[in-house]
């Protein structure tokens, strides 16, 4: 088989890139190790920046997001027994939508299937070849047979554990990483929302996040030891911990519900500044990871492939390579901004093991500042809605 662009990975980055390329008249094939059911049912967080919302809408895949997603014009910071609201729309003129990542994936898969796209799920033994030539290829197994996909470009959207980044010679890769000594204990529960907007809570016992998935399903997290086990946490113990961290002295209380999913996720920051090598380009989690505190992961993936689709369009329509040559440089400006914001939010809101009482009071002082100074609140809001990064336009 031959195509113009071979895409490894059917997460948000790979599927949205395939969608954007289709709109530009560029052929692609998407290869994915998981089944369609697996990628559409794996529940993950989804806070969409204004630019991501606009891009999904402009490209025809935002209808369900607008109908079913929760549009939020602000969020609350909870600390020292009180809650203070960051008014995103007042400060920036923009907003965010809470819409789970697997729902975005469903919309993108449906759009690609409707367009007759070549999506191959359940592939194995994927490997990349000839990326330092103008005739790269991807070899893989599908339904018991070996295949080779010949293409002009290979785009690695296969996450942090995928084969794409490993195909770049180790001597040429420059990676940066920070592993945090804490994780998030996450639950999904049945019940009404505890708040109209997200609540980010800093407490001496640790961080907590009160989020939502739908009018009847809620998502909540609290800081924990990443080596802990969900088996150590009964439902009663979980609710006691969440109430201790997120209830306010002003009478605001979170609402208990029937817990039907528990998990623990580790937290790290990672950037591979070598996002391209020959005819191979990395996008999304294959190139960078952010802690979820800043809600940037999906948005960075969308921003990457938007830049990449424009560069590929210039190559095919104008025989230009300058945008492809500058892909890493262009993408990394936004990536490092998002990395810093996510690091800042994480450092400001989490309990840092070994922190002195002095350092703990500095966290409180910073939260006081960002919730009482309009200038400081604007900096936070601009970064949260994505206004501090490059604005995303399709320009088809």
Residue numbers annotated as active site = 72, 200, 292, 296, 384
What SS3 string covers the chain?
CECCEEEECCCHHHHHHHHHHHHCCCCEEEEECCCHHHHHHCCCCCEECHHHHHHHHHCCCCHHHHHHCEEECEEEEEECCEEEEEEHHHHHCCCEEECCHHHHHHHHHHHHHHCCCEEEECCEEEEEECCCCCCCEEEEEECCEEEEEECCEEEECCCCCCCCHHHCCHHHCCEEEEEEEEEEEEEEEECCCCCCCCEEEECCCCCEEEEECCCCEEEEEEEECCCCCHHHCCHHHHHHHHHHHHCCCCCCCCCCCEEEEEEEEEEEEEEECCCEECCEEECHHHCEECCHHHCCHHHHHHHHHHHHHHHHHHHHHHCCCHHHHCHHHHHHHHHHHHHHHHHHHHHHHCCCCCCCHHHHHHHHHHHHHHHHCHHHHHHHHHHHHCCCCCCCCCCC
């Amino acid at each position: 088989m031959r195509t113009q662009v071979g895409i490894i990975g059917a997460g948000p980055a790979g599927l949205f890139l395939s969608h954007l390329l289709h709109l530009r008249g560029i052929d692609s094939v998407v290869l994915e190790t998981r089944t369609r059911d697996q990628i559409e049912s794996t529940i993950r967080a989804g806070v969409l920046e204004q630019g991501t919302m606009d891009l999904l809408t402009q490209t025809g895949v935002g209808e369900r997001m607008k109908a079913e997603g929760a549009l939020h014009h602000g969020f609350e910071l909870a600390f020292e027994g009180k809650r203070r609201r960051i008014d995103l729309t007042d400060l920036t003129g923009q907003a965010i939508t809470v819409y789970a990542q697997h729902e975005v994936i469903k919309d993108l898969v449906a759009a690609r299937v409707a367009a007759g796209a070549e999506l191959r799920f359940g592939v194995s033994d994927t490997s990349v070849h000839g990326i330092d030539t103008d005739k790269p290829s991807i070899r893989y197994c599908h339904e018991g047979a070996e295949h080779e996909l010949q293409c002009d470009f290979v785009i690695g959207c296969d996450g942090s554990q995928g084969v794409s980044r490993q195909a770049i010679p180790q001597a040429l890769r420059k990676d940066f990483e920070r592993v945090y000594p804490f994780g998030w204990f996450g639950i999904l529960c049945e019940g009404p929302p505890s708040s109209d907007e997200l609540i980010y809570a800093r407490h001496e016992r640790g961080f907590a996040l009160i989020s939502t998935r739908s009018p009847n399903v809620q998502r909540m997290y609290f800081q924990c030891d990443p080596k802990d086990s969900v088996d150590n946490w009964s439902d009663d113990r979980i609710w006691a911990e969440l109430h201790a961290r997120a209830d306010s002295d002003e009478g605001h209380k979170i609402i208990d519900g029937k817990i039907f999913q528990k998990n623990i996720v580790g937290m790290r920051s990672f950037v591979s500044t070598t996002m391209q090598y020959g005819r191979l380009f990395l996008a999304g989690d294959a190139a960078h990871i952010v802690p979820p505190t800043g809600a940037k992961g999906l948005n960075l993936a969308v921003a990457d492939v938007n830049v990449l689709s424009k560069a590929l369009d210039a190559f095919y329509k104008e025989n230009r390579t300058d945008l492809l040559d500058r892909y890493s440089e262009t993408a990394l400006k936004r990536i490092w901004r998002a990395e810093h914001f996510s690091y800042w939010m994480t450092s400001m809101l989490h309990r840092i093991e070994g922190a002195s009482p002095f350092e703990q009071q500095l966290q409180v002082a910073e939260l006081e500042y960002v919730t009482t100074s309009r200038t400081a609140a604007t900096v936070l809001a601009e970064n949260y809605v994505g206004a501090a990064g490059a604005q995303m336009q399709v320009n088809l």
